[in-house]
């Protein structure tokens, strides 16, 4: 078994949620487009018909190809014990992941509100309006929900007494939000102490700690999903 | 076991993807807010702390509360055999569902591109621009992907030789798109014959057929996710 991860090589993007779970668990994988270039990714996608992915990221193993971040994490959770085993916890960890995915989609919509396929520069006034509502209403709602979820757990982590893929995804959400909205996040982060604590715990997992210091971790940039445009930070 | 479904009582919305799977499978459920009113839904949500839902719909059974459409369908698929049993098929059906969920989120974004919490009337020019790109680029991409997926399956359905929750969700996506974009859909539907055929097959499932004729099926309206605003139909 050797995992092949296919994702845009120049950004963290949605692929990062998969990379973090793999790195935290110490699961070996090839980050194919980083090794072979973006043309290889495009050629690979075009060659996949039938059950091909709608979009990257997708993970290939033993002839199976899985796309959609939440589906990939569901698979990895089942196969590598990155999710709790109790039935109730199993659907809960997935629910948390799907809610984080909703937050990520809304973040993307902030800088691409009216034309997903065009440039940010072509939709700056609309993005400013979208950013204001995101910062003022949606950001506290998402963080508040995660905080409540964390506080409801008797363990140190989001769901269980050990980390799951929901924790690595929470880490990435917080990191991305800090990069994109440094002022807005600095102003409200103190209200979400459990979220921040879990973020710190994930950063200290040996696999994640090593990954973040390696060149495998692509720095945030303004081609990704989280983008630092100061005019959107209020 | 008695399922309680909680969702906004006046719209099909995201809850409809759950209703259709339950109706197709003949699983009994109480559509709580339709019986008890929207105030009951709001009160119920506010009373749920800890592992409460981020937003409706959510399904309650035996003390378990599951939110997020894809997670609810994952649960129902596992428990009621509404998903294939082979491992590869099981992640594939979920991948299809998550891609349909992405399409639904983009549809919502068409009429609410810059301010999700405000009215459509406050963002009509932005919505017109978002609608143009959705109709011209995203709609064919989503339908083309589903068509390719359907054509890759040797059976009559999307994934297996029998219906799964991906088929009922495909039905609802097509119905919603026809309501929201009657002209745009009429112009391109002929290119997606397998998608249309599966839509027709779902409509003829006995449980769905009875449901669509009943008063339990709320008509489409301009409070839901799919909204018929002629100016957005090109």
| Residues B64 and B99 placed together within one structural domain of the fold | no
Residues of A with Cβ-Cβ distance to B116 under 8 angstroms: 106, 133, 138
Q: Which residues contact A194 (CB under 8 A, 6 or more apart)?
A: A147, A150, A151
Among the partner residues B74, B87, B102, nearest to A91 by beta-carbon distance = B74
Residues A114, B133: C-beta atoms closer than 8 Å: yes
| Residues B103 and B201 placed together within one structural domain of the fold | yes
Closest CA relative to residue B6, chosen from B37, B51, B50, B28: B37
| Residues A108 and A132 placed together within one structural domain of the fold | yes
A120–chain B Cβ distance below 8 A for any pair: no
Residues A50, B152: C-beta atoms closer than 8 Å: yes
Out of A49, A80, A111, pick the residue that ends a domain.
A80
| Residues B93 and B196 placed together within one structural domain of the fold | yes
Tell me if A165 is assigned to some domain.
Answer: yes
ipTM: 0.97
CB atoms within 10 A of CB B10: 13
Residues of A with Cβ-Cβ distance to B67 under 8 angstroms: 95, 99
Tell me if A218 is assigned to some domain.
Answer: no
| Residues A152 and A168 placed together within one structural domain of the fold | yes
| Residues A188 and A103 placed together within one structural domain of the fold | yes
| Residues B102 and B161 placed together within one structural domain of the fold | yes
Residues B113, A106: C-beta atoms closer than 8 Å: no
pLDDT tens column, B66-99: 999 999 999 999 999 999 989 899 999 999 999 9
Tell me if A66 is assigned to some domain.
Answer: yes
| Residues A115 and A177 placed together within one structural domain of the fold | yes
CATH code for position B144? 1.20.1050.10
| Residues B91 and B179 placed together within one structural domain of the fold | yes
Residue-level pLDDT at B172 = 98
Residues A66, B145: C-beta atoms closer than 8 Å: no
| Residues B76 and B94 placed together within one structural domain of the fold | no
| Residues A104 and A62 placed together within one structural domain of the fold | no
Out of B80, B106, B123, pick the residue that ends a domain.
B80
Residues B118, A130: C-beta atoms closer than 8 Å: no
| Residues B76 and B95 placed together within one structural domain of the fold | no
Q: How close does chain A come to B135, measured CA to CA in Å?
A: 11
Residue-level pLDDT at B1 = 60
Residue-level pLDDT at A160 = 87
Residues A71, B91: C-beta atoms closer than 8 Å: yes
3-state secondary structure chain B: CCEEEECCCCCCCCHHHHHHHHHHHCCCEEEHHHHHCHHHHHHHHHHCCCCCCCCCCEEEECCEEEECHHHHHHHHHHHHCCCCCCHHHHHHHHHHHHHHHHHHHHHHHHHCCCCCCCCHHHHHHHHHHHHHHHHHHHHHHHHHHHHHHHHCCCCCCCCCCCCCHHHHHHHHHHHHHHHHCHHHHHHHHHHCHHHHHHHHHHHCCHHHHHHHHCCCCCCCCCCCCCCCCHHHCC
- Please, what is the average pLDDT of chain B? 96
pLDDT tens column, A198-211: 999 999 999 999 99
CATH code for position B47? 3.40.30.10
Rounded CA gap, B229 and B234, in Å? 10
Minimum Cα–Cα distance from B79: chain A residue = A87
3-state secondary structure of A66: strand
Residue-level pLDDT at B131 = 98
pLDDT tens column, B104-145: 999 999 999 999 899 999 999 999 999 999 999 999 999 999
Q: Is the pLDDT of residue B221 over 90?
A: yes
Interface of A with B in 48-107 (CB under 8 A): 49-54, 64, 66-68, 70-71, 74-75, 87-88, 91-92, 94-95, 98-99, 102, 105-106
Out of B22, B46, B80, pick the residue that ends a domain.
B80
Residue-level pLDDT at A69 = 98
Tell me if B229 is assigned to some domain.
Answer: no
pLDDT tens column, B2-26: 899 999 999 999 999 999 999 999 9
Q: Quote the domain boundaries for residue B49.
A: 3-80
Residue-level pLDDT at B22 = 98
Tell me if A29 is assigned to some domain.
Answer: yes
Tell me if A114 is assigned to some domain.
Answer: yes
Residue-level pLDDT at A143 = 98
Q: Is the pLDDT of residue B42 over 80?
A: yes
Residue-level pLDDT at A1 = 61
Tell me if A17 is assigned to some domain.
Answer: yes
Our count of domains for chain A comes to: 2
Output the tens digit of pLDDT for each of chain A's 234 residues.
Answer: 689 999 999 999 999 999 999 999 999 999 999 999 999 999 999 999 889 999 999 999 988 999 999 999 999 999 999 999 898 999 999 999 999 999 999 999 999 999 989 999 999 999 999 999 999 999 999 999 999 999 999 999 999 899 999 999 999 999 999 999 999 999 999 999 999 999 999 999 999 999 999 999 999 999 999 999 999 998
Alpha carbon separation from B89 to A32, A137, B39, B95 (Å, rounded):
24, 39, 40, 10
Tokens matching residue B106:
């983009």
Tell me if B220 is assigned to some domain.
Answer: no
Residue-level pLDDT at A23 = 98
């Amino acid at each position: 078994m050797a995992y092949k991860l296919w994702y845009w090589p120049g950004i963290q993007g949605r692929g990062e949620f998969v990379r973090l779970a793999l790195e935290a668990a110490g699961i070996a994988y090839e980050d194919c487009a980083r090794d072979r270039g973006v043309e290889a990714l495009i050629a690979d996608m075009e060659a996949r018909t039938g059950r091909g992915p709608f979009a990257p990221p997708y993970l290939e193993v033993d002839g199976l190809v899985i796309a959609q971040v939440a589906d990939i994490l569901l698979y990895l959770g089942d196969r590598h014990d990155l999710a709790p085993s109790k039935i109730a916890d199993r659907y809960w960890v997935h629910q948390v992941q799907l809610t984080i995915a909703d937050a990520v989609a809304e973040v993307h919509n902030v800088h691409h509100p009216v034309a997903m396929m065009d440039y940010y520069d072509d939709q700056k006034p609309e993005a400013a309006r979208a950013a204001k509502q995101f910062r003022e209403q949606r950001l506290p709602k998402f963080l508040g929900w995660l905080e409540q979820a964390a506080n409801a757990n008797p363990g140190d982590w989001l769901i269980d007494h050990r980390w799951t893929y929901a924790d690595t995804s929470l880490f990435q959400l917080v990191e991305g939000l800090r990069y994109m909205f440094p002022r807005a996040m600095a102003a409200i982060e103190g209200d979400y102490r459990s979220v921040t604590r879990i973020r710190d715990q994930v950063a200290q997992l040996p696999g994640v700690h090593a990954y973040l210091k390696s060149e495998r971790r692509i720095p945030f940039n303004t081609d990704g999903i989280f983008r630092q445009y100061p005019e959107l930070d209020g």
